[in-house]
Structure 1
């Protein structure tokens, strides 16, 4: 909301001058956004969209002080949470087709169409990859545990 308030507080003359001077860049950014939204089918598209929007805002003359870094961090957190929610819903939806592989060295791998979990026997966290993109190490919570158990029972 703070970013929206900041944008709306500019007067009409400022916006008109900006649009007249930089209309070509805005049209290019809009075209890039439309292409990314239509072509890219992964969660990464929202990160790309965020970067394009932030790039246009920076180009328009906003500074980091104007944007307030808390707003930027909040945007990053929202993107991360969206990706995590999609990964967790994929865990629930793809549990029946999950495959468990014992790697023989005390580690295991659970794979589905969209997910890959790699962990060590007895550890309480796993490395999570969603559509080939690393989401880092996650604690083994109920959703992760149920995916691992379902993969073991699918053997």
Structure 2
């Protein structure tokens, strides 16, 4: 149902044009061809609406990726700004946690990936030079 609603909201002009064309065909054409044209136009609109789901998913994925990248950038900026207040804690399982007032970094020694918790959202991030500097600085305290 969401697919149909999104299709109607985004492509309402196509539906209006199809209805107008159907109305004209019904009024002007008086033969069996009229019903063939009506069915053909309805089929085209239905197929177009059915394939709209793929386009909607593509747009949703693009927006989701952009939001995720922005959150990761903001988290990296925040952890860099808060590096002086970072605390390092070695966990019982061999992993470690670096915490600031708004960010938590969980990782294992020797791993290139870290689990970042920022603004209530958790995501994985590669440990780059800036993040490693923050971890090292917290470890030295």
Corresponding position of 2:83? 95
> Of 120, 133, 139, which aligns to 2:126?
139
In the superposition, relative to structure 1, how do residues 142 and 64 fare at CA in structure 2: closer, same or farther (>3 Å)?
A: farther
Corresponding position of 2:32? none
CA distance in structure 2 between the aligned counterparts of 1:89 and 1:64, rounded to whole angstroms = 42
1:91·1:143 contact (CA, 8 Å) conserved in 2?
no
Instruction: Give the unaligned 5+ runs of structure 1.
Output: 1-5, 15-62
TM-score, structure 1 normalization: 0.55
Q: Given the alignment of the two structures, is residue 119 of structure 1 paired with residue 119 of structure 2, yes or no?
A: no
1:102·1:109 contact (CA, 8 Å) conserved in 2?
yes
Instruction: Give the unaligned 5+ runs of structure 2.
Output: 1-8, 17-48
CA distance in structure 2 between the aligned counterparts of 1:80 and 1:112, rounded to whole angstroms = 21
Moved over 2 A (4+): 63-67
Corresponding position of 1:148? 135
TM-score, structure 2 normalization: 0.60
In the superposition, relative to structure 1, how do residues 64 and 146 fare at CA in structure 2: closer, same or farther (>3 Å)?
A: farther
C-alpha distance after superposition, 1:94-147 (max 9, x if no partner): 111111111243211000111111111222221111123211x22211121111
Note the C-alpha offset of 1:64: 7.2
Alignment length, in residue pairs? 101
Corresponding position of 1:128? 116
